[in-house]
Amino acid sequence: MHERKTQIEYTPDIENMTRKKRVCAYARVSGDRDEAFHSLSAQISYYQKMIANHPDWEFVEVFSDRGITGTKENREGFQAMLTACREGKVDIVLAKSITRFARNTVILLETVRELKKLGIDIHFEEEHIETLSSKGELMISILAARAQEESRSASENQLWRIKKSYEKGIPVTGNCLGYRMVDHQFLIDEEEEQIVLQIFSMYLSGKGFTSIANTLSSEGIKTPTGLDRWSAKSVRGILMNEKYCGDLVLQKKYNLDYLSKKTVENKGEKPKYHVTDAHDPIINRETFVATQKEIARRDKAYGPKKPREHYIFSGLIRCSKCHNLFVHIISARHTKYEKANWICGRAREYGKSVCPSTWRIPENILMQKTCEVLEIAEFSESILRERVKEIIASDGNKLMFIFMDGSQKTVEWQHRSRRESWTEEMKEDARKQTIARNERRRKNGSESTD
């Protein structure tokens, strides 16, 4: 009896073997100085040429971020790169180094593993690592941990240098309206000096913050941050800034931690340093003191300020366009259609010319999506605050939840239809209105035929 032999034929996937690898690159610079921008331009040009000159590669795009540190994950270019990968448009991602890609170990490993599942290789040039190789992830873990430690060490060294400068009364940064900083010294800008003098003069002549803001805006004077519209808050900030009488208060704010780089107001957690007569004043001391007394008098005369109300998502939702926080608003107030919404604070105050975002997100949908992301049956603000660091709102009705451990998850939301959002009371009221409207039409019709 002859032994039966089975012939196995191997048919290669010719299309996949012959298709060029679709390659993109990610480039980032750490600062927003001119030379940093030039460096980013050079990186983009470098990758365009590299991909174009590789016979087996097909150029997709160079994704980039300017002036954003590697520790912040609300990078639009980075997110666009991930979206292209998730949509199946990329086979290989090129990056100069691990630190350019992400300094947070958790974010780095999460991204590498996600793209690995999608069959996408990441090439880190400086470290000579290809993540789909057998040793790729182990090397990534080691190098990412080292990069994060270097980031922490560099941050601590920088904070130490800043502290020593403050102790000597030397400002580190701080251009403001009316001054330019040169070699850590505030020098008067003669053109902007006149605007500062005008603001103080208008206030002491009886004008209020809002009135002054409207006047400056109507005269076409730009705000210190380059906006066309002034606000009462920005005017008050100038009138209370001790720099204008020649003094300095250093360390009014500080970075919360080296990863988030979030700046918070110093309410006594760290020492402040007050330097008298640190530079030439724009406003003499007598006028400045008189202004502070007048501000205090008006505050007292118009009663205590109403404490800012706390809302569920206060300080958590950020706009991907201008990076400002979302604010709580009520639509159709004092009607049966009253609804809580969240909208970009800058877009609401200054309009689309300053921030083009138009997302008005209903609070009930935010609560629903939070439950979905956190996998909880019932919404809890305490759980939200404990686990979520920030929520980035962006195009396409997308919400990116950034968690305390550095990981993130993006979900989409959509408005409920009016039919779904109506209560039984609202439906009954609408039914009655329809009946009454039809009755009026019937009567009008019968009268016209008489």
Q: What is the dihedral of CA 144, 147, 151, 152, to 10 degrees?
A: 70
295 has pLDDT over 60: yes
Separation of alpha carbons 111 and 122, rounded Å: 10
Q: In percent, how much of the chain has pLDDT > 90?
A: 29
3-class SS of residue 169:
coil
Q: Among 86-90, 403-407, 417-421, name the one with the lowest average pLDDT.
A: 417-421
Residues 25-29 have a mean pLDDT of 86
For residue 89 the two structure tokens come to: 């448009």
Per-residue pLDDT averaged across 263-267, rounded?
74
Give me 234's structure tokens: 């920005």
* Confidence band of 65 (pLDDT split at 50, 70, 90): confident
Q: Write out the DSSP string of 9-66.
A: -----HHHHHSPEEEEEEEE-S--SHHHHHHHHHHHHHHHHHHHH-TTEEEEEEEEES
Alpha helical stretches, state H, 87-207 = 98-101, 105-117, 136-167, 190-204
Q: Please, which residues bridge with residue 178 across strands?
A: none
Ordered by where they begin, the domains of the chain are 14-153 (3.40.50.1390), 168-301 (3.90.1750.20), 317-421 (no CATH)
pLDDT-derived band at 153 (thresholds 50, 70, 90) equals confident
Q: Are 98 and 124 in contact (CB under 8 A)?
A: yes
pLDDT tens digit string along 200-223?
A: 999 999 999 989 999 998 898 988
What are the angstrom distances between the C-alpha of 317 and each of 104, 108, 158, 347? 21, 23, 29, 14
- Closest alpha carbon to 355 in 183, 229, 439, 218: 229
Residues 40-57 have pLDDT tens digits of 778 888 898 999 899 999
Percent of the chain with pLDDT over 70: 76
Q: What dihedral do alpha carbons 152, 153, 157, 163 form, nearest 10°? A: 40
Q: Is 70 exceeded by the pLDDT of residue 401?
A: yes
Point out the least confidently predicted range of 287-301, 317-331, 415-429.
415-429
Q: How far is CA 388 from CA 32, 247, 370, 382, 407, in A?
A: 28, 39, 9, 10, 10
pLDDT-based confidence at 67, cuts 50/70/90?
low
pLDDT value of position 415: 74
